[in-house]
A and B are shown apart, each in its own frame.
Chain A
């Protein structure tokens, strides 16, 4: 998965592979997911795949990241707060939006993010 994440910086910023993989590894370490560094996608859980997708999105130049319906995106997701916490830990200047349906509103109770209806 390290290669998978590093790819973005290698392609868009022409960063050498070693440097790009170092950045990718640091990101995974921040959210204690470094064990998936050498996994292939089939060995990862849905949450782990989500983190990879999110880190890849962080590597892009776009200022905004939109996560649409996380509960259908991540299979068997029970607590969105764990995801929100890790998104915060990864920290970024980007604006991160979670789009979800009103029926899932109760899942966001007590979360740190500001809710706009």
Chain B
């Protein structure tokens, strides 16, 4: 009984470690391809442009609306709380830290995961089950260069640019609340934010967005590749991929908070 229990723990540990090693190997191969100029052939560039369009451009109307709504309401709540606890002097840095460092990259990452992460996971899983990946291999087409790299790069570009856009719109729409709640004019609001923002805030936003964008595409791709050879395995693959992706997003978020605290 005890032996069986220990054996099961050992087996699952070995399984987890070997799948982690395999995932890390896949990540490093993708990174090597990313820095190799030969990976960027015309077909890859075409896929990259399309991926950026589908990931970042088509989502803009919904994204703008959400940024505007969240911006006015959440910044309003932050200002109201800061006023309640007599923290008016720190309102600028509170808003910047909350919007630029934390909320914008994380919210953008969640939205892109739900929208594009699931799509990419399903797409790769379907291609895998339909043997399309094998067909591409038969034609000596490098799957990493043609399929995976454009998606990963588009993830990085899309999450980074949308995070910046989200932060800008959130901060702009926050002015509406300050205007009505605090009777603050635009110049004062602008000064408040400008004096609070630091280079480190921009660096955090960029680094987090890049990390989020990378895993948002890498994990669904990897999960799609690991799909068993049947259509019923596709939803399981998407489910597993999304759970792993959310764990990775929270891990990056927690890691960035710990690094900021140090």
Contacts and interface: CB of A to CB of B under 8 A. Distances in A.
Interface of A: 3, 6-8, 10-12, 14-17, 20, 56, 60
B43 A10 contact: yes
A7 B43 CA distance: 6
B141 A7 contact: yes
Nearest to B40: A14
Contacts of B146: 7, 11
Interface of B: 41-46, 139-142, 145-146
Contact of B140 (A12, A15, A17): A12
5 contacts: A7-B146, A8-B141, A10-B41, A14-B42, A17-B45
A90 B134 CA distance: 26
A-B residue pairs, 4 tightest by C-beta: A10-B43, A10-B42, A17-B42, A7-B43
- A10, A11, A14 — most chain B CB neighbours (10 Å): A11
Main SS of the interface on chain B?
A: helix
Nearest to A41: B132
Main SS of the interface on chain A?
A: helix
A11 B142 contact: yes
A12 B139 CA distance: 10
Given A6-B43, A17-B43, 5 more contacts: A7-B146, A14-B42, A17-B42, A56-B139, A60-B139
- B43, B44, B140 — most chain A CB neighbours (10 Å): B43
B3 to A, nearest CB: 53
B106 to A, nearest CB: 36
A10 B145 CA distance: 12
B41 A14 contact: yes
Contacts of A8: 139, 141
Contacts of B43: 6-7, 10-11, 17
B141 to A, nearest CB: 5
Contacts of B142: 11
Contacts of B46: 3, 10, 17
Nearest to B141: A11
A60 B140 contact: yes
A20 B46 CA distance: 12
A85 B26 CA distance: 46
B33 to A, nearest CB: 13
Contacts of A7: 43, 139, 141, 146
A95 to B, nearest CB: 18
A20 B42 contact: yes
B123 to A, nearest CB: 14
Contacts of A12: 140
A66 to B, nearest CB: 12
A12 B41 CA distance: 9
- B42, B45, B141, B146 — most chain A CB neighbours (10 Å): B42
A15 B139 CA distance: 16
